[in-house]
Amino acid sequence: MGLVALAGLVLSGRGEPYQADLSQQGPPSARSGSAAGAVQDLLAALEAGDPAGAADLAAEGDGAAREELAAAATNVRALDLTELSARYVDEVGAVSPEGSWTAAVALTWAVAGFDREPARAEVLVDFAGDRERVVITGLGGSDRISPLWWGQRLAVRRTDTALVMAAGDDAASRAQSYLQRVRRAIPVVRRVLPRWRPSVVMEVPASAAGLDASLDVAEGTYSAIAAVTAQADGSGRGDAPVRVFVNPDVTGRLRGAGAQVVISHELVHVATDAANAEIDPWLLEGFADYVALRDIDLRLDVTAARARASVRRSGVPDQLPGTAEFDVSADDLAAAYELAWLVCVEVAAQVGEQGLVRVYELASEGESTRAALAGVGLTPAEVLVAWQERLRKLAS
C-alpha cells in the first residue's frame, strides 16, 4: 500500500485529521504568478496612459512606489511611446524574510515618429506580497539598465525632428534649453553632411549618476563626460534606437559656445550612426569635433588649449590618439579629443573637407583606416608626420 503525503495534512493514529501549524513553514518564496499578473496590469496602465491605474498597483500607503508608477504612465503618454511590452522573466536574488523580492522584466518601447525599431531591455521591478495581493514596490535597479522614463516624472519638448526628455527639479527649463541647442546644431551638421535627415532623441537625466543608470554602467563611469551617443537599450543590435545622453553636471558648467559644441559633436555621431560603427577613435571623435568646431569663431589657443599644454608637458606623441587615450578614465581625456580634432584638421588641409568626409565614410562602411586614407591618396605615416609638425608649431 502506498503512502501519500498531503501538504499541510497528516493522519493521526486515531484516523483524525491534523492541520499543520503554518507559522512554522520555511522562508517565504516569490509569488511569481501573481507578480507576472501585476506586470501585465502595469502594462495595461502604461498603454492606456493611466497614472492612477498604475499607482494602484502599489500598496496604498507606499507613496514613493505610487509616484514612480504614476510617473511611468505619465511619461508614456508625454513621449508617445509605442510597441510597449512587458514580461516577467525571473527573480533576481533571494526573497527577503519579509516576503519582498526583485525580478527582471523584459521591456520593449519605442518613441513614435523617431524609432524605427523598439528598444529591448531587461529592467528590474521590486515586489512584495502577502496572502491577499502582490504589489509593486519600486522600478529600476543598480545592476540593470534603467530607462530615463521608467519611474521618474519627465519634462518633454519636441519638434518634428527632435525630442528632448529631461528629469530633475528644473526639468522643464532644461528640456527647452537643450531642444534649442539641438535645433541650432542640426544646420551645423548638415553643412558638412547635407544628406542627413535629422531625427534626434536626447535624454537629460537629473545628474551624472542618472546618466550612469541610463547606460547601465558603474556609478562615476561617465562623471567627466559631457555627453555620449549610444543605443537606448545597450543591446548591441544594429537596429536598436540611438539616443544622445547628456551629463548635466558637466554641460551645466560649460559656457554657451562650449555646450553648443558638445551637442553639435553628438549630433554628428547620430548623423553617421557612430554608435553602430567600428572606427579608430581619432577619426570617430576628431571628425565629430571637426564638424562641430568648423564655424566656431574661436582662437586656436582656446580650441586646442589642452592639446598644446599636453605637448608642452609631454612632448609630441609618437602615434595618433588611440583607444587608451579615449578611455573614460584617462587622465587627459580632453586633450585626446583636441589632438584627434587636429588630426582631422590636418587631413582636411591636405585633401579638402570632402576628402575628410570621404575618409570617414569609407571607415564607417567597414574599411580600415589605412584603406580609407588610401581612398584619398594618403597614408597613415604621412598623416602622422604632418600632424606632429602641426603640434610642434602649436606648442612653440
Which grid coordinates belong to 41?
496590469
362 close to 273: Cβ distance less than 8 angstroms: no
What does the pLDDT look like over 74-96, one tens digit per residue?
999 999 999 999 999 999 999 99
Residue labelled with grid coordinates 528598444: 119
CA-to-CA distance for 127 and 93, rounded, in angstroms? 12
Q: Where in the chain is the domain with CATH 3.30.2010?
A: 154-274
pLDDT of 3? 32
pLDDT digit string, tens, across residues 268-319 = 999 999 999 999 999 999 999 999 999 988 888 889 999 999 999 999 999 9
**Fold that domain 154-274 belongs to in CATH:** Zincin-like (3.30.2010)
Query: Could you tell me the strand order of the sheet in which 242-246 lies?
Result: 155-158, 162-166, 200-204, 242-246, 227-231
Q: Report whether pLDDT(18) > 50.
A: no
Instruction: Share the mean pLDDT of the chain.
Output: 91
Q: Specify whether domain 32-139 bears CATH 3.10.450.100.
A: yes
Residue % of the chain over a pLDDT of 90: 81
Q: pLDDT at position 255, please?
A: 81
Cα–Cα dist 284/237, whole Å: 20
pLDDT at residue 25, rounded to an integer: 55
375, 359 in Cβ contact below 8 A?
yes
Q: Are strands 162-166 and 200-204 parallel, antiparallel or unpaired?
A: parallel
pLDDT for position 26: 55
Helix axis angle, 333-351 relative to 380-395, nearest 10°?
A: 120
Q: Name the grid cell of 77.
A: 503618454
Residue ranges of the chain assigned to CATH 3.10.450.100? 32-139
pLDDT of residue 181: 97
The conformational region for residue 220 under phi > 0 = left, psi -120 to 50 = alpha, else beta, is left
Q: Assign 3-class secondary structure to the chain.
A: CCCCCECCEEECCCCCEEECCHHHCCCCCCCHHHHHHHHHHHHHHHHHCCHHHHHCCCCCCCHHHHHHHHHHHHHHHHHCEEEEEEEEEEEECCCCCCCEEEEEEEEEEEECCCCCCCEEEEEEEEEEECCCCEEEEEECCCCCCCCCCCCCCCEEEECCCEEEEECCCCHHHHHHHHHHHHHHHHHHHHHHCCCCCCCEEEEECCCHHHHHHHHCCCCCCCCCCCEEEEECCCCCCCCCCEEEEECHHHHCCCCHHHHHHHHHHHHHHHHCCHHHCCCCHHHHHHHHHHHHHCCCCCCHHHHCHHHHHHHHHHCCCCCCCCCCCCCCCCCCHHHHHHHHHHHHHHHHHHHCHHHHHHHHHHHHCCCCHHHHHHCCCCCHHHHHHHHHHHHHHHHC
Per residue in 116-169, pLDDT (tens digit) is 999 999 999 999 997 789 999 999 877 788 999 998 999 999 999 999 999 999
Tell me: pLDDT of 62 over 60: yes
* pLDDT over threshold 70, residue 4: no
Phi, psi of 389 (to 5 degrees): -65, -40
Distance CA 326, CA 314 (A): 17
Lowest-confidence region among 228-232, 321-325, 329-333: 329-333
CA distance 76 to 148: 11
Is the predicted pLDDT of residue 23 greater than 70, yes or no? no
d(CA 185, CA 270): 12
Determine the pLDDT at residue 22. 42
